[in-house]
Amino acid sequence: MTQEQIKTNFSQNLIKLRKEKNLTQLQLAEKLNYSDKAVSKWEVGSVLPDVETLTHISEFFGITVNDLIYTKKKSVIREFHKTHLFLTLLISASIWFVATILYFVLDNVTSLNRCYLTFIYTIPVNSILLMIFSAIWFKKIYVFLSASAFLWGCIVSIFLSISNSQLWFIFIVGIVGQIVIMLAMFLSKKK
């Protein structure tokens, strides 16, 4: 492989990896402790970083240097996303499985008549996991959706647990919270 092919492969792979993490050139440069001009030159393919920098970039993205400079990186990126999605779904399913077991134990062993709340309480717990994984691996819209699920899961959990008809105002708190989440997402897109 020639130097020009390596530059081209590296620039294409870097662009894809950066976009997959929803980073701008400036944000990536800050995370790597380089200037945004250096990242721009890398992505244009005019400059190839030295081996130490390539190693640092590959460690940041959790891949090998070979994955950065070879064209078969496309399939590697897809495999990482499939793995991330599989891991997220597996852990999420595990949380719901534990909630189901807990429900059956509470329903059969105790005299509690509101065991169904186990599933309601599971919504915010699962949403926390989804927020974390979405922030690390997926697009910001999924962080927004999981934060919204967390907010409303908590509100419904509190409302159903307390069973007070005068607690209706908690839904107004939820609307305000939803507006805050929407504003936070909107402002984070502007940066």
Angle at 98 between CA 174 and CA 130, to 5 degrees: 45
Closest C-alpha among 58, 77, 178, 83 to residue 133: 83
Q: Which part of the chain is CATH 1.10.260.40?
A: 3-71
Mean pLDDT, the chain, integer: 86
pLDDT tens digit sequence for 121-167: 999 999 999 999 888 888 888 889 999 999 999 999 888 888 777 78
pLDDT tens digit sequence for 1-13: 788 888 888 899 9
Task: Region of 63 please: left (phi>0), alpha (psi -120 to 50) or beta.
Answer: beta
Tokens of 158: 């509190």
Amino acid, res. 110 = T
- Report which of residues 80 and 129 the model is more confident about: 129
* Residue with token string 């697009």: 139
Amino acid, res. 70 = Y
**Which residues are CB-contacts of 156 (< 8 A; sequence separation ≥ 6)?**
120, 123
pLDDT tens digit sequence for 26-50: 998 898 898 889 889 999 988 888 8
Give the class (CATH, top level) of 3-71.
mainly alpha
Tokens of 148: 């919204």
Please give the Cα distance from 145 to 181 (Å, whole number). Answer: 9
